[in-house]
Copies of this chain bind each other. A is one copy, B any other.
Amino acid sequence: MTRETETLPTVFVVDDDAAVRKSLERLLRSEGYRSESFASADGFLERWRPDPAPGCLVLDVEMPGLDGLQLQQALHLSGAAIPIIFITGHGDIPRSVKAMKAGALDFLTKPVRDEDLFKAIQQAFSWDRRQRAERAERDAVAERFAALTPREREVLMLVVRGLLNKQIAFELGASEKTIKIHRGRVMQKMRVPSVADLVRAAQKLGLQPDVSQPPA
Contact = CB atoms under 8 A, between A and B. Distances in A.
Copies in the complex: 2
Interface residues of A, number: 31
A206 interface: no
A193 interface: yes
Contacts of A150: none
Contacts of A209: 196, 200
A177 B203 CA distance: 32
B161 A196 contact: yes
A200 to B, nearest CB: 7
A121 interface: no
Contact of A93 (B96, B101, B192, B216): B96
Contacts of A161: 196
A163 B197 CA distance: 10
B191 A216 contact: yes
A97 B162 CA distance: 44
Given A160-B196, A193-B216, A196-B209, A106 B100 contact: no
